[in-house]
Amino acid sequence: MSDLRHRAASLSPGFVPTAVLSILPVAAVLGIAMLAQLWLAPVLANAGADFFIKMGVDILVAMVLAISLTMVNGFTGQFSIGHAAFMAVGAYTAACIVYYGSYRFYGNANVQGGLVSSMVYGVRDVPWFAWADALFLGALLAGGLVAAGCGYLVGLPSLRLKGDYLAIVTLGFGEIVRVLVQSQTTEVLAEGASVTPDHLRMIPAWGSTLAVDDYITAEAIASAPVWVWPKYVGGALGFGGLPFYTSPFWVVLVAGLTLLVAFRIKSSSYGRAFLSIREDEIASEAMGVNVTAYKVRAFVVAAFFAGIAGGLFAHTVGVQLNPAELGFQKSFDIIIMVVLGGLGSISGAAIAAVIVTILPELLRTPDLLAASWPYGLGGVVLGAGLIGVLRSGGRSTTLGRAVLFAGLLVAGLGLLALWAKGSEVDLGRYRMVFFALALIAMMILRPQGLLGVGEIWDRSFWADLVARRSKGGVS
């Protein structure tokens, strides 16, 4: 018996405290999700701020994607540029299950869920949880599992390929998924003049030859074998008419659990094994880490969460699930989040997900930005003052510089928005320019990203902010 096992036996914390500590965070996430759905969302909706609910949902879905990609690109140091493909796989899997499942069970594709999936905030006369919610939850999990299976397949080449070569494989996988979905039939629509969007993906009667008027009834869907469904997902035109189940409850729940799992991984022996691979593969393997197996495992776990995020995305209000939207562009958005946040930082990726999701919205509706430039200037002044005070106290000026920089950013964007408003330029169309600029600035000012591999909850992070300056140099 190894010394480790020997010591562990005498250090066991006991079952009850362990169970409490292990379950408590999960219960907390569940509680927060309930609160978001039953209190926060109605309050916002009553205040006419539905926009913020929608924003919040988008942000949290982006967060799940960014955190999951962090496990591959950040923890194990592989470079995947096809993460949106796992999202697409999860999205279409979940969509098929929910859409056709709804037809099977309810005869239509309307929302049949309880309060947890409700998009009508403040209602009280529905049950908490209905069977349709279970259908949605099951679909999310199935999407996650199918995506994880794909993650395994894509992870396999990483046994042999490194760096650029692996990146190309993931890119290829992303394109394959997109093209496969796009090439599914849309002919049902093309023929009929009077076809409504709801007809779009209906299955031709099983065994019958396809006729224009021969759209399928709920009974026919119920009798068609399951494997026929994926063929009728709208092809290049998109999979519309999906019921909107993605409520604040579900996104908060999924994002919270993703955060929790990522944190648990990173702070464990397995997490250190992941990080060691990124730091030095040869040393890692010499210390007994089965590098190839761990690389694949990172892909599988990341793909699982990306798949669930896809399921959430597919059932969001106002989203028409479309293969073109889940292509390389989307993968790139996720990479930007991970790189900005600092490759390997969970909290960094989460913060970057907020920024990257909000910024285009702000640019599109410049009023808010335009109004904020005085605050930016205030930040500049405050930051400059802070730097002076910190420096004279012989302390690290990091905090002051951060405030100064943020102020400059807000002021600059605000003035830009002001100008754009005056000359009626749509800044939203230039969002990729802004991201590119942000990346360039990041590479120059802070190449390790916002947080490097660290986390905002690390003690050393806060200690660094207020530390005494080690070297009495100028600067």
CA distances from 249 to 41, 42, 349 (A): 9, 12, 22
CB of 305 to other proteins, least distance (A): 12
Tell me whether residue 131 or residue 457 sits nearer to other proteins (CB atom).
457
Q: Phi, psi at residue 468, to the nearest 5°?
A: -70, 145
Q: 3-class DSSP state for residue 468? A: strand
CB of 172 to other proteins, least distance (A): 27
CB of 155 to other proteins, least distance (A): 14
DSSP 365: S
| Nearest partner of 149 among 323, 303, 258, judged by Cα | 303
CA distances from 30 to 68, 257, 258, 260, 296 (A): 20, 9, 12, 12, 30
CB of 81 to other proteins, least distance (A): 22
Tell me whether residue 6 or residue 429 sits nearer to other proteins (CB atom).
6
Per the structure block, which two tokens stand in for 448? 């390790």
Q: Name the residue with tokens 């999205």.
A: 91
Buried b (16+ CB within 10 A) or exposed e, 130-146: bebbebbbebbbbbbbb
Tell me whether residue 45 or residue 261 sits nearer to other proteins (CB atom).
261
CB of 292 to other proteins, least distance (A): 8
How many whole angstroms separate alpha carbon 385 and alpha carbon 87? 45
Q: Which residues contact 46 (CB under 8 A, 6 or more apart)?
A: 121, 122
CB of 267 to other proteins, least distance (A): 9
Tell me whether residue 153 or residue 283 sits nearer to other proteins (CB atom).
283
CB of 257 to other proteins, least distance (A): 10
CB of 144 to other proteins, least distance (A): 14
Residues 312/420, Cβ–Cβ less than 8 Å: no
Tell me whether residue 9 or residue 445 sits nearer to other proteins (CB atom).
9
How many whole angstroms separate alpha carbon 31 and alpha carbon 28? 5
Tell me whether residue 1 or residue 444 sits nearer to other proteins (CB atom).
1
Residues 73/343, Cβ–Cβ less than 8 Å: yes
User: Which residues of the shown chain bind other proteins in the complex (CB under 8 A)?
Assistant: 2-5, 7-9, 11-15, 18, 21-22, 261, 264-265, 268-270, 272-273, 275-276, 279-280, 282-291, 297, 344, 452-453, 460
Tell me whether residue 212 or residue 293 sits nearer to other proteins (CB atom).
293
Residue type, 116: V
Tell me whether residue 112 or residue 396 sits nearer to other proteins (CB atom).
396
Q: Where are the alpha helices (DSSP H) in 156-185?
A: 163-182
CB of 432 to other proteins, least distance (A): 30
Tell me whether residue 183 or residue 268 sits nearer to other proteins (CB atom).
268
How many whole angstroms separate alpha carbon 88 and alpha carbon 91? 5
